[in-house]
Amino acid sequence: MKQFILTLSIISTLLFSCGEKKEFFKIEGETQGTTYHIIYEGTTNNFKAGIDSLLREFDMSLSTYEPNSVISKVNQGNNVKVDKYFKQMFYKAKEVTEKSNGAFDITVGPLINVYGFGYTEGETIIDSALIDSLLQYVGMSKVKIETDYLLKENDHIELSGNAIAQGQAVDIVCEYLEGKGVNNYMVEIGGELKVKGLKYGAKWRVGIDKPVEGNNVAGQELQTILAITDKAMATSGNYRRFYIKDGKKYSHSIDPKTGYPSYQNILSATILADDCMTADAYATACMVSGLDKSIKIIESEPTLDAYFVYTDIVTGEIKVYYTKAVESLIVEK
């Protein structure tokens, strides 16, 4: 009799679970000095607290604005024990540095700071002597992880995860949602995003902002719209993060080899990859590399696709380049 009652109880629970209606929910918040937006299909809208807690934990690993974060401790000292998020970021950064021929490099921390794009206000006078003095501390070969400790060749070496951490944060939120059984979602942090599955039976439509000065609100003026699924996408450009001082324009895309802002013919680089951390890093590498080198980088990596907006160096016209796979994703030009 007890077994019969138990069986009925199990059947009732299963029937109730199967009957739970799924709907799309939205979650919004702030993290890493920017905002995040999440849309997902599920039966509950109680994930915000868990996601905020996860992002806070992530900040305590890789935010240079948190004085007690792992990366801040690395920048303040040497032989510092690092955590899983730091190691994940470090090894991906090392991979992209090698494959981009040094165009991407997280040891540009001192240069990022001197230009005022890091956690300091920057220097009043920036000249060749200052830049040369800082370049000696730049290079992924100068840092390594042994067991769980980050070792620096010189104590003055500082790391910056700004060009990879937002993409990584997107990935860990996606892992959280998938762990909750969510199969259809869009996670966006500071413009970097990843989508899975479908939204109301159709691919997710995502926009690429037009890279023109004054276009400071995401989605305000679009270059194109793509319909994607099961992909991550990141865009880097110099049309928002820059300042003009004494008649000179300083961009946040710093060339690790020269120590100066990179002024290439690419206006914006959008990269599609399987994970957002990879897309984020390569988007920065392409902004530093310029069009021709970026095309070679993308062609050498079969898991990557790209959409570049660039200036024709002969005619001065604004043109676009995109890989063959992206052509099939364009729904609005």
Per-residue pLDDT tens for 227-253? 999 999 999 986 544 334 444 434 457
How many domains, the chain? 1
Residue 20: what pLDDT?
72
| CATH number for 115 | 3.10.520.10
Tokens at residue 181, please? 């059984």
pLDDT of residue 4: 40
Neighbours of 185 (CB within 10 A): 23
Could you tell me if residue 14 is inside a domain?
no
> How much is the pLDDT for 308?
96
Give the C-alpha separation, 331 to 333, whole Å: 7
Quote the pLDDT of residue 90: 98
Identify whether 95 is part of a domain.
Answer: yes
Instruction: Report angle CA 285, 168, 136 to the nearest 5 degrees.
Output: 45
Residue 180 lies in a domain: yes
**pLDDT by residue (tens digit) across 166-200?**
999 999 999 999 999 999 999 999 999 999 999 99
Label the pairing between strands 185-189 and 34-42: antiparallel
- pLDDT of the residue at 121: 59
- Other beta carbons within 10 Å of 8: 10
Is residue 172 included in any domain, yes or no? yes
- Domain limits for position 58: 24-332
Q: CB under 8 Å to 107, separation ≥6 — which residues?
A: 137, 138, 139, 140, 142, 143, 157, 158, 159, 256
* 16 assigned to some structural domain: no
Judge whether 9 lies within some domain. Answer: no
Residue 148 lies in a domain: yes
Q: What is the maximum alpha-carbon separation in the chain?
A: 88
Whether 11 maps to a domain, the answer reads no
Q: What is the pLDDT of residue 213?
A: 61
pTM over 0.85: yes
Percent of the chain with pLDDT over 70: 84
Please count the other Cβ atoms lying within 10 Å of the Cβ belonging to residue 10: 10
Taking the C-alpha atoms of residue 18 and residue 35, their distance in angstroms, rounded to an integer, is: 35
Tell me how far apart the alpha carbons of residues 301 and 297 are, in angstroms, rounded to a whole number: 7
Tokens of 327: 């052509």
pLDDT the model gives residue 306: 98
Q: Which residues in the chain show pLDDT less than 70?
A: 1-19, 118-124, 212-220, 238-252, 333
Instruction: Give, in order, the Cα–Cα distances in Å from 126 to each of 46, 130, 156, 162.
Output: 49, 6, 18, 21
